[in-house]
Amino acid sequence: MAQIQTQQQEFEADLVVDRCESVAEDVIVLDLVHPDGQPLPAWAPGAHIDLVLAPEITRQYSLCGTPGATTHYTVGILREPNGRGGSQLAHETIEKGTSIRVRGPRNHFQLVPAPRYVFIAGGIGITPILPMIAEAGAAGADWSLLYGGRSEASMAFADDLRAHGDRVTLLPGTDIAPMSQALDARLGTPLADTLVYACGPEGLLAAVEGRCASWPSGSLHLERFSPKPSDDSENVAFEVALARSGITITVPADRSIFDAVQDNGISVLGSCHEGVCGTCETVIVDLDGEVDHRDSVLNDEEKASNETMMVCVSRCRSGRITLDL
């Protein structure tokens, strides 16, 4: 289970783009350095940082450089013409020398030590997997990678990955049948001492989740870029006691806990406000009711434990909750 470290101050600084390079169709890679050459906070594979691309546009990007490197942070950005505008803005405005506000790093996709890994990536989902492969290799673990993309030209880092020989299976093309067959072959039977790490579009992650349903609990680790769909139509108001602040507030049906807490003048960390980044993770001190976990960060085990919740999207279905705020 992920270590619980919530609602702590985190690194925030204006970093400078030291490299801005196109590495595949619609994919740029940035190296970000401290303007004074200071070392950056340490990180581990699976970590991501926030890039504040404009006052109202903050996006999360996985660190994809050499594991633990503190001289610079490396991220890959896919241009998504039908996205919400962040990646488009990044591609249009960032160049070598650009200053960008950065927050983090934080990690909800840690690589748990294991003798063997199955890595699965779709498109830009390869970015968190790259340092994982390096770390797994350095630890002497056995590993394999399935990497799909809409075309060979769009698959960032494919040439580097080919150097790993038959550990790596590249599946370019829009036909989903080859990936589907490869997932059946790789995940159809649970393997002992093996962890599965997957990052990519929702369709791929759902396919991986389905095939891993019979694997031992804790085998599958996913990272989502976008929130799982959720239904707000049956939201109800509920009470939240704030243990450190000593007050109890009502969260209306049309407000999040995050908003209601802020409305009461209490500061709470947040970034994506859609349950994918993990910044707002808050410890549940006491629960007299049922939490409706709606985030895409915690795994099933973590949700069932009700130790923490993402207050930007998760709610209470009934009763009352006490939070460490």
Residues that bind ligand FES (CB under 6 A): 270-273, 275-280, 295, 297, 310, 312
Nearer of residues 161 and 310 to ligand FES, judged by Cβ? 310
Nearer of residues 123 and 275 to ligand FES, judged by Cβ? 275
Between CA 212 and CA 189 the distance in angstroms is 9
In the complex, minimum distance from the CB of residue 181 to ligand FES, in angstroms, rounded to a whole number: 34
The closest alpha carbon to 87, from 60, 114, 111, belongs to 60
In the complex, minimum distance from the CB of residue 281 to ligand FES, in angstroms, rounded to a whole number: 7
Q: Strands 116-122 and 194-199: what pairing?
A: parallel
Nearer of residues 120 and 313 to ligand FES, judged by Cβ? 313
In the complex, minimum distance from the CB of residue 228 to ligand FES, in angstroms, rounded to a whole number: 12
Within 10 angstroms of residue 169's Cβ, the number of other Cβ atoms is 17
Nearer of residues 145 and 311 to ligand FES, judged by Cβ? 311
In the complex, minimum distance from the CB of residue 278 to ligand FES, in angstroms, rounded to a whole number: 5
Cα–Cα distances in angstroms (integers) from residue 98 to residues 15, 31, 103, 243, 321, in the given order:
8, 11, 16, 42, 44
Between CA 243 and CA 180 the distance in angstroms is 48
In the complex, minimum distance from the CB of residue 82 to ligand FES, in angstroms, rounded to a whole number: 22
DSSP state string for 265-305: T-----SSSSSSS-TTEEEEEEEEEEEE---SSS-HHHHHH
Nearer of residues 220 and 310 to ligand FES, judged by Cβ? 310
Between CA 298 and CA 302 the distance in angstroms is 6
Sign of CA dihedral 130, 131, 136, 138: positive
Within 10 angstroms of residue 20's Cβ, the number of other Cβ atoms is 18
Q: Per this entry, what is the length of the chain? A: 325
Return the residue matching tokens 């990497």.
147
Nearer of residues 65 and 275 to ligand FES, judged by Cβ? 275
In the complex, minimum distance from the CB of residue 49 to ligand FES, in angstroms, rounded to a whole number: 13
**Would you give the end-to-end CA distance of the chain in angstroms?**
22
Cβ atoms 118, 141 nearer than 8 A: no
Nearer of residues 148 and 270 to ligand FES, judged by Cβ? 270
Peptide bond into 105 cis (omega under 30): yes
Nearer of residues 66 and 110 to ligand FES, judged by Cβ? 110
In the complex, minimum distance from the CB of residue 270 to ligand FES, in angstroms, rounded to a whole number: 4
Between CA 282 and CA 291 the distance in angstroms is 13
In the complex, minimum distance from the CB of residue 14 to ligand FES, in angstroms, rounded to a whole number: 21
Nearer of residues 127 and 308 to ligand FES, judged by Cβ? 308
Cβ atoms 241, 323 nearer than 8 A: yes
